[in-house]
Amino acid sequence: MITRSKLVEQLRDFQIRSQHKWPALTIFSPKPFLSTWRDVAVAIFLALIFIVLLVSSYVTLYLRHYWISVVFVCLGILLPAATSLMHTWQPVARIGLLSSAGRFSLLSMGVMHACRRSAYAEH
């Protein structure tokens, strides 16, 4: 039999396992929490792109190509900024999807009622 204490223990174990262990990678993750290995892989990929941009800006500075270095620095600044903007836009997009799904379900219910009315009217 499942008791409340067992459920509390399972919930505590799940919360411990689901905590993200890479707080530095959340800067580069498009999601606010690293819950799956795919999220971690995307964050690592974006962090590597950031490092490549940083090193290439240093190399272009060394070779005295200042404008190219400015472009690399701007891209390096925009990469974490864009991922943090994704954090804020995801809930808004989900709300939009939910409202459009709700409208669709209302439409389908209306169509269903109209079909029922026409079926009753024939008999």
Residue with tokens 């459920």: 7
**72 and 60 in contact (C-beta within 8 Å)?**
yes
pTM for the model stands at: 0.57
Element (H, E) at 47: helix 37-62
- Asked if residue 34 has pLDDT above 80, the reply is no
**How many domains does the chain fold into?**
1
Distance (Å, whole) CA 39 – CA 32: 10
Could you tell me the two tokens for 112? 């269903």
**83 and 91 in contact (C-beta within 8 Å)?**
no
Q: State which residues form the domain around 48.
A: 4-122
Q: Which of 70, 32, 36, 28 is nearest to 53 (CA)?
A: 70
Q: What is the mean pLDDT of residues 33-55?
A: 88
- Asked if residue 52 has pLDDT above 70, the reply is yes
Quick one: pLDDT band at residue 84, thresholds 50, 70, 90?
A: confident
Q: What is the mean pLDDT of residues 67-81?
A: 93
- Asked if residue 28 has pLDDT above 60, the reply is yes
